Structures are given as structure tokens and as C-alpha cells.
Amino acid sequence: MECMIARPSKGSAGKTGLWRTFKPIYDENKCNNCLLCWLYCPENAIDVVDGKISIDYDYCKGCGVCAKICAKKAIEMVREDEL
Amino acid sequence: MVVVKIKDLPKEKFLLPGNTSCQGCPHALGLKSLGMALGDDVVLVVPAGCTTIIAGSKDKSSFKFPCLHVPFASAPAVATGLGSAFRRLGKKGIPVVWMGDGGSDIGFATLSGACVRKDDMIVIVSDNEAYMNTGIQTSGTTFWKARTTTSPTGKREEKKDLALIMLMHKADYVATASVGYLQDFIGKLRKASEIDGFRFIHLHSPCPPGWGFDSSETVEMARLAVKCGAWILWEFDGKFRISPMSKPYADKSKRAPLTEYLKKQRRFRHLSDEDIAEIERRIDEQWRVVLALEDVF
């Protein structure tokens, strides 16, 4: 029975970072720590570490919501094959 | 109204990354907000829909709260049973029904029953205005003239106003919310959790693949719907109030151009100028109803 119980785990669909076409690149110098990107990340792939944001690229699907919501333009979406 | 500050929100995640939601998914935004608002108290009841898939399969769950998958039409009835059991056993927990517009169409009988009995639960309908999980078929809440796979020339029927139906059903708490304004949604969830009885929130959830817009524009689209007046945010907790985000748009001159909202979506690309004028007339009519309700309640 034990194996039938689903436990909370990251990556229930695997490493969804592989879905990405565009990668969010974060520029700390432009950031004013408003945390809007953290609040509006649909994937919940942005963490707040010591008041600063950190993107979990293992799971970020590259939707681009964070870059759109950032008033300071501190996140830029760059094509994965151009990196 | 409960004011929510971003910095005060819990950092703990109740929706875990790496789940099966599409890029820019509005349900994911709603579900993570649910965790931020109510945390450990939530016991989720989910009928078939996108969220069934998002929850994960086999031994991995994307949710940190318990989740019960139930047959389509039964979700509010299951929550009724859960609520009674919690009370009888003296256990803590809020039964939260999370369903799409499909769940609320097909499960309307049980939704109505639970509301009439004032059973203890919070029902959230995350409305992406079509049956997205099964291939974008028309639902009761699909926007008039919107293209879906079962309305290739645009839906002929009116969008049903589920939140107003639940208001007239005498629910204890009714609100509309939007994934474009998560702090407002979290505030409404917290407010709902302080009230006893049947509580209902209609969440507007723009769907990138279903509506035909870029995955980066989910939040923008949800906000545009509010700014052009097509989606009105309000709350009823004994008193009917238009929420602050929507308040300015009671004045038609303050609204964003409707075409800005419609032209960004593939499902509205076929609209004629007459169609847009008719949609505008219907939006004005909706505002008259909501403003009148503010006077009545």
C-alpha cells in the first residue's frame, strides 16, 4: 500500500526545464527586490534566498511571465541556442 | 477587504515546480496562491480537469496539501461529506473544491445543493472559458463570439455569469477574482476562510493555448480583461462591493480600449467591428447590473 501513496515532490513531470525555448536571465543590478516575479511565476520556480531571487533552471519552463511583469526589466528572455 | 503585502506572504511552496502545467498556466498561479493564502488547512477536492493532471501521477504529487480526485459531477457533494467528517471527528481542515468551468457546468446540481444547504466549504471555479483539458470545447462560461473547437465560427450563446448565479443562490460569501491580481485573490481567500458556510470564488484564468496568446502574457491578459471592463472584480460578504482594482472602470472613459484585449487573442481574431460594438454594449450592461447590485445589497 505504501507505494500507492503520492508524496509531495518536485518534478512530478520530470525536469521540466527541458521544455524551455527561452531562458530568463536575471540581472541583480537592475532588481529592486519587489518580488513580483516570485509571486507571479506560474511554475513556482523562483525562490527568495536572503531577500534576493534565484531561478530554478531545472524546472523553469521559460514561459516569460517573470520578464513581462518586471517593471525594472531585470529579467531578459534569451533563446537557449544563443547562450 | 483584506490587504495583502507581497513581503508578508509565506515563502513555503504548496505547488511544487516541475509539474505538468503548460507554460504560463493560470491554474498554477491560482493554486500557488491558494497555498499562500490558506496553507496547511486546505484539503483539495478536484473533479476532472487540467488540475487533475497538474496534481501529478503515481508516487509524486505536485501539491503539499492532501488532494482528493473525484468523479466529475460530485466535487461539492464530496466536500460536504468531508466537512461533516471533519466536524464529527474534531479535525482541522477546510474542504476546498477546485474546479474548472467544466466541473461547474457538469457538477452544477451538486454545486447548487451544497450552496442551498450552506455546507462548509470554499469552492473555487478557475474559469478559462472553455473545456481546455479535453481540447478547447465551448463551455457555459465561454465568452460570446469566442472561437472554440465546437464553435468554429464563434460561440452563439451568452457567457453565463456563474458568480451572480451563486450570489442569487444566497451563498454566504461570493467573490470574483483574477490571476492578474493575486494579492486581491489571496485577500479574498483569507476573508472567505474567516466566514462559516458556503463560500464561492470565481477566478478568471486566461489560458495561453486555449485563447491563443503567448505564454508570457497570462498576467497581462488577465489584467487587460479587468482594465477594459470585461471582467469585473467584486466581493459579497453580506455587503456587495466592487473591488478597488475594478472600481475606476465603472467610469467608461477610464477603461482600456476593448480592441486591445480582444485583438491579442486568436479566439477573437474573426470579430467584425459590429461584433466588437455589441460586446462593448454587453459589457456596459453588465456594469449597470453590478453597480445596481452595489445599491441593493
Question: In terms of residue numbers, what domain contains A68?
Answer: 14-82
Q: Is the pTM of this model over 0.95?
A: yes
Assigned domain for A47 exists = yes
- Chain B residues with CB-CB distance to A38 below 8 A: 6
Inside any domain, residue A46: yes
- The pLDDT score that the predictor gives to residue A82 is 87
Asked if residue A13 lies in contact with residue B18, where contact means CB atoms within 8 angstroms, the answer is yes
Q: Is B181 part of the contact surface with chain A (CB cutoff 8 Å)?
A: no
Contacts of B56 in chain A (CB under 8 A): 6, 9, 12-13
Domain holding A37: CATH number? 3.30.70.20
| Nearest residue of B to residue A44, measured between CA atoms | B17
Q: What does the pLDDT look like over B23-58, one tens digit per residue?
A: 999 999 999 999 999 999 999 999 999 999 999 988
Position B1: which residue type? M
Q: Which residues of A touch B222 (CB under 8 A)?
A: none
CB B179 within 8 A of CB B203: yes
Please tell me the distance in Å from B173's CA to the nearest CA on chain A: 25
Domain count, chain A: 1
Task: Over range B199-210, report the average pLDDT.
Answer: 98
Domain presence at residue A65? yes
Domains in chain B, CATH or no CATH each: 18-296 (3.40.50.970)
> How close does chain A come to B16, measured CA to CA in Å?
5
Name the CA dihedral angle for B53, B56, B62, B68, rounded to a multiple of 10 degrees: 80
Chain B interface includes A57 (CB < 8 A): no
Nearest CB to A62 within list B11, B23, B63: B23
Residues in chain A with CB shorter than 8 Å from the CB of B183 are 39
Q: Looking at the domain assignment, is residue A5 inside a domain? A: no
* pLDDT on residue B59: 87
* CB proximity B216 to A under 8 Å: yes
CB contact under 8 A, B218 and A67: no
Provide, rounded to the nearest whole percent, the portion of chain B with pLDDT above 70. Answer: 100
Model confidence at A26: pLDDT above 90: yes
Q: Within a domain: residue A3?
A: no
State the Rg of chain A over Cα: 15
